[in-house]
Structure 1
Amino acid sequence: MNNTPKEVKPVEKELQKQPLESNPKQEEKKVVQDPKKESEINTIVGSESGINLIPVLSEQEIKKEDKKKKLNMSAIVSLIILFVISILIVGFNVVFKIQLNVEKEKLVKREQAMSVFSQKILNNNEIMSRIYLYNDIEKGRYSAKDVMEHINNIAIKADCNLLSFSFSGINGMELNGKAQGLEEVAKFWYLLGNDTNIEKISLKSIGKGVQDVSFSFYGSFVLNNFVESSTQ
């Protein structure tokens, strides 16, 4: 009976002397809060080398900075693309201009060749037309001497004197002369009108002077008759 109470008393004393145990959650909070304070102190005080005044960026600020970097990169890429496109456009324009100049030079050369060729054609046509004209003249060539002699013989028959004789066109003629009177002129006109070698004849003018009568006729002769006579 006496031994039991002695053993109980020391236990109570020991219980009173033991300090209160702290909660583990509170200790963890303290441990977690301490690094923040240390980081804040480090940002202001810094390391031994110097003082760092740059504040620590928050997550939102970091995201904003990342977005800015991405936007800047996209802007740079778009500028590079535009620059490359502009260089390509300028290059294509230069190539097209060079090709256009080459084609223009070819066109000028072709036009020059065509102008030379057309000039040759014109010259050939002119030569051919002259050849045809010469052939026509050769075909219709007559002896003016034979025509004048034939009409002069008719004038002699009518007692008329021819003073001048001129040709016009292919077979046109005009003659001037004098006679002693109007009867001789009328006879000459009649003989010319009924001659088979004369195509047509008309009186142009007539004038009576003191001693003689002057006259002028115009008309045409039959060309084939004098061409045949000339070839013979």
Structure 2
Amino acid sequence: MNISVLSIFPEMFGGVFNASILKRAQESGAVSLTVRDFREFATDKHHKVDDYPYGGGAGMVLKPEPLFRAVENLTEGHSPRIILMCPQGERFTQKKAEELAQEDDLIFLCGHYEGYDERIREHLITDEISIGDFVLTGGELAAMTVIDSVVRLLPGVLGNEESPALDSFSTGFLEHPHYTRPADFRGMKVPDVLLSGNHAEIERWREEQSLRRTLERRPDLLGEAELTGRQKEVLRKLGWQEED
């Protein structure tokens, strides 16, 4: 996968892109990550990328020319998904991450200031994404979040192909609890079933714990899930009431 980021603060990405999983993903050839300063594509001598809004008002608005020119430079000969990071966009989910992980090319636009010229939204982008109902100083941190979420889903990136499939939200539920050595830490013991060696019982326990955690923390997810008869039975024992 090729991922390009357009930002006026490209230095923000160095630490994130050059560490941990994202660094290893690049070294293995699973992904290419590049960041461009779209000031390079401004047409005036001061490399100005923003201006006052027509009609007045507070703040500055990103001009269309630099971003259009930058995207056209990056997309010559192909048509990637072009993603605008914005609090007005579609709420980012694991399902969206899985969708984007199927693409070969992604471009992320990161803005600052008051907002974007509306012509950028209407005529340049393919997707508009928000990571939550709050406002950041710019789209850079949001883009890093989305990119990390997508790249870890690429084949071979995590090493264990089962890992992303069992993540919270990938199954429709929150993930079950995890334990490791020691089996007894200050009197806090690992559940006996995990030490039993009975893999069928372990899988049943994990499913039940996943359902319990989802019911306690994110019951809204249960309304969207396609539940099996056994899952419904487990949830009823936990106090869940199926909606009519």
* Higher Rg: 1
Task: Give the TM-score normalised by structure 2.
Answer: 0.17
- Larger relative contact order (Cα-Cα within 8 Å, sequence gap ≥ 6): 2
Task: Give the TM-score normalised by structure 1.
Answer: 0.18
Higher helix share: 1
